[in-house]
Amino acid sequence: MVVVLSAPRAGAASSDARCPVCSGEQWTDRLQRLKLAVERCADCGLRRMQPAEDQAAAADEDPERDDCEPPLGFLRPPDSPIEREASIHYLDLLEERGAAGHSILAVIPAGHPFPELARARGHSVVASPSCGDDEHASMPEGVFDRAVIIFRLERSSEPIALLKSVRSALKPDGTLLVVAPSLDSWPARLLRTSWSEWRRANRYYFDTQTMHGALLRAGFGQVRAESDRRRYSLQHLRDRAHAVPETPLTRLVKLASSLVPPALRKRIRLQVPTSATIVMARPAEQRERPLLSVVMPVYNERASFATTIEAVLRKQIAGIDKEIIIVESASTDGTREAVRQYEGHPEVKVVLQDRPRGKGNAVREGFEHARGDFVLIQDADQEYDVEDYDALLRPLQRYQRPFVLGSRHVSGWKIRQFNDQRGLVELCNLGHRIFLGLLNVIYRQDLKDPFTMYKVFWRDCLYDLHFECNRFDFDFELVIKLLRKGYRPLELPVTYRARSFRDGKKVSMVRDPLTWLRALAKYRFGSIYRSDRRHASTTDQFSSPAAIGALPASTPQPRSTIGTDRPRLAAGGRLGR
């Protein structure tokens, strides 16, 4: 049996309401879309629809229609061949995660074909009729193996409460699939104010970052996303172009379709990205206090290691616990002996590599041992100040951003000023400027310092990402792959004191720039995900941050596979490929 839940119509959000994702109170960047006003949360970027006051009553009477827009059913007919194909794809994704023959909670539009297709595959749903915004508490707990929310999350006036309700209804190993319009989608970015999803029935508009934040806040992890792609006939595209407000794109579609005989328009089908994103996640164990994993690669740092590790140990962060993962790479100057003195420390995990493989390799191995909700990379060379931790972590802790960079120069570009090698420092500054420009142009960014050591992010961002760089090119690889996943870093100023090559700086001025160029070119295209390289096993080897954190301290951790051709790290979906 399949029981279908249609989320009830939500009321308009209050003009002074807090952001449901980050609890921010400031709404800015007001966008007027015909009779509708769209506002943006100043902290996390979530957008919400605010109907004009004189249109609010009409929106409540019929949220599916607007005098200025075609019916939503025209844009997405509930039971059409296109929607059936999409439902088959959703079921395939669920079954890839072992959902065949399991119970499914379906929060979907009335008349959607998903239930019929799920029934044909042997699925069943045992559901409660209490999935409305005002009745989340009555949802049965731990009943369902899988849940789907299809074009309903964006319409809820309390999306986090809806997600929490669905999470409570899932079994601990359950899977959630969400389909929702996305501000990251190709149509949204291309059409801007003429995007067909600007509708008063949609209360909120998510992008990759805000969707991930909403899921984490609701108790989910292992988040992965992909663009929703569908096959449309040329006739369907022509009909939509005539139904929506005119733009240069709709005029082009009309012109192109007019050159094709009517009999062929229904036969010619094109696969195009839609306005939606498909997001999958799983319930995660939640801590009372978040945990920060400080990953510290160490190699030949005897002069500065002790001072750095003691500073990190002394550092207290309000509301956050911490663990330090030291990855020592077979130093030759006595550093290993200094590191081993911290074996057994309650806040420290020591990982001893058998030989030096590069800083990037050490950081990757540190990622595999990290159990925290947040990850921060900390060198042992005293160039950075641990007192900057609080400011760097605050946006992550408040769900404002998933990725933060500690920028050494928010303004200006001469960040290195070691006076004993003036010619070399100018060359380093120039090289930084060149590679910064290349990255910003190739990846369409406007960053100031993506190569900083202080990279801080939700550990769940790493789910399903494939990493391979071993040297300093890992700085490029990590940033690029997080960018391509859809995370736009927030750059915050930090204290920085550069050291010279005579003081121990290890970058090669000949070898490393070549690897940086290779990374810039190699990671622009192609898959960045582990699951695209080989089929994932049914047992996840890299589980959600909170789930790992729930393990007892004595639980043995798996040894790293760094250096082999079977990488184990990961980070969500195919979005941005």
Which pLDDT belongs to residue 551? Answer: 34
b/e map of 87-120 (b: 16 or more CB within 10 Å)? bebbbebbbebebeebbbbbbbbeebbbbebbee
Which pLDDT belongs to residue 1? Answer: 46
Least confident stretch, 5-19, 141-155, 209-223, 284-298: 5-19
- The residue extents of the domains of the chain are 4-283, 291-549
Please report the DSSP string for 180-209 in residue order: EEBTTSHHHHHHGGG-TT--TT--EEB-HH
List C-alpha distances in Å: 198 to 158, 195, 294, 571. 19, 6, 42, 30
pLDDT tens for each residue of 537-551:
434 444 443 333 333
Superfamily of domain 291-549: Spore Coat Polysaccharide Biosynthesis Protein SpsA; Chain A (3.90.550.10)
Q: Same CATH fold, 291-549 and 4-283?
A: no
* Coil/strand/helix, residue 429: helix
Task: Specify the residue for token string 């059936």.
Answer: 84
Confidence of residue 41 (pLDDT cuts 50, 70, 90): very high
**Which residues fall within 8 angstroms of residue 261, CB to CB, at 6 or more apart?**
none
Backbone angles phi, psi at 208, to 5 degrees: -55, -45
Task: Specify the residue for token string 């890299």.
Answer: 542
Confidence of residue 207 (pLDDT cuts 50, 70, 90): very high
Find out whether 485 and 571 touch, Cβ atoms under 8 Å: yes
Q: List, in sequence order, every residue forming a beta bridge with 317; answer none if it has no partner.
A: 320
Three-state helix/strand/coil letters over 112-144:
CCHHHHHHHCCCEECCCCCCCCCCHHHCCCCCE
List C-alpha distances in Å: 393 to 172, 195, 291, 295, 388. 28, 34, 11, 15, 9
Q: What is the mean pLDDT of residues 257-265?
A: 86
pLDDT tens for each residue of 492-504:
999 888 654 455 4
Amino acid identity for residue 367 in this structure: F
The angle, 0 to 180 degrees and rounded to 10, between the axes of the packed helices 422-442 and 473-485 is 20
pLDDT tens for each residue of 14-38:
445 899 999 999 998 777 665 678 8
Fold of 4-283: Rossmann fold (3.40.50)
User: Given the DSSP bridges, would you call strands 269-283 and 220-233 parallel, antiparallel or unpaired?
Assistant: antiparallel
Q: Nearest 5°: CA angle at 254, between 248 and 256? A: 100
CB-count burial class (<10 Å; 0-12, 13-18, 19+) for 540: middle
Task: Specify the residue for token string 């909170």.
Answer: 546
> Above pLDDT 90, what percent of the chain?
52
Which pLDDT belongs to residue 257? Answer: 85
Please report the DSSP string for 527-545 in residue order: --BHHHHSPPPSS-SS--H
- The size of the chain, in residues, is 577
Which pLDDT belongs to residue 320? Answer: 97
